[in-house]
Amino acid sequence: MSPIAAHRASPAMWSPQPPPPRLQLRRPAGTPLHSSRRLSRIAASQEDPLTALTRVLWGRALPPSQLVLAVRHGWTSAWRLLMRQLAPSDPATGAFTRTPSRFPAVAQPAPVPGARLHLYVGLPCPWAHRALLVRALLGLGPRLPVSVAVPGDDGAWSFTPESPDALYGSRRLRDVYAARRGGYEGRASVPMLWDADRREVVCNESIEIAKFLCTLVDDGAGGLDLWPPEHREEIDRWYGVIYPSVNNGVYRCGFAQSQAAYDAAAGELFDALDMLEDHLSGSRYLCAGAGVTLADVCLFTTLIRFDLVYNPLFRCSRRKLVEYPSLHAYMREIYQLPGAAETCDMAAIADGYFGTLFPLNPGGILPVVPASCSREALMKPHGREAMPSVAAAAADGRQLGAAASVVG
């Protein structure tokens, strides 16, 4: 008989088995009985285990100073490590240094008329908002389809069933970048203008995308010209003020890794806002002799986020935008332009900053949207219709001279 058959035939297999020995939790020698009782209370407690454990370790008092110091040191070290990757800084000063775009200019030869172009944006991003707003103001929606990426848990731009990649059905924006001829391994940023015919990135620098979109406008665009040839030099001069001090200035505040770097950035930011408040108290728009231009678009996408995000999260706290009467009314006027409000998703903006920028908001708690940022408040009459849109050339020159001194 084989061993297996013998085992199966064994009567011991069918006889009743003795009950298993009863497990007993034994208290190690020297352990006070009240500690065991405390552990039992943890198991029976309705509190989360971590909170209950802290009560056992140090009661209702503050954590031991050594633990506080250790956690503080560990968190600070981890924060610096994350910030070096998410927001590179100057090692000597701690000042935020923005990573240059990999595709800063429109690819040459430029896409031909009728090319299958596709715009990739993210609603929280002010740089992507520029391209989205230009598309809306110029009525380019029917000619330029758009896909909206959302920030994933790791901060990378991704697509969801609710917000898909309408062109390829990709899961991540980096997959679209990688589909270009020659591939791609860098940071996948928005906005990104894609040429579907050539499977190539046209550009991923926001101001250059905005300028290129202005060239797509034909006579049927309603007469709005955001980049008129006669004002291009002036637009560029204003942009030379707005970008370093305001657009990037808020990030230099929020991502500063030293007190000196923060103080310098905050001082420059609010000096620029004070200057802009003074200018816009006497001129309807930034450029003398023009209506809304790309300079106004670029300023607007920072202003619309200021009280919601930059003031509380990025420590741009000297004043709120609502405390600048002219700037706030100017921002409301642009918000009320046809198609502009639909590009401003305040819930997505709040979630994109407070929910994604873990090093700045580790709890991930979303704040209450300020009353001044509600649609009802933003749609209130701005009263700027009677303001001169044409400022005296000498006065405008003085404003730009003062602006240059702010960033110089």
Report the catalytic residues.
125, 251
Bridge partners of 203, per DSSP, are 193
Amino acid at 258: S
The torsion of the CA quartet 180, 119, 103, 243, rounded to 10 degrees, works out to: -160
Inter-residue contact 324 to 277 (CB < 8 Å): yes
**Neighbour order of strands in the sheet with 146-151:** 157-158, 146-151, 117-122, 192-195, 200-203
- Give me the long-range contacts of 369-374 (CB less than 8 A, separation at least 24): 369/308, 370/307, 370/308, 370/320, 370/322, 372/307, 372/320, 372/321, 372/322, 372/328, 373/307, 373/308, 373/346, 374/346
CA atoms within 13 A on the CB side of 1: 8
Among the listed residues 169, 178, 179, the one whose alpha carbon sits nearest the alpha carbon of residue 149? 169
DSSP 3-state of 247 = helix
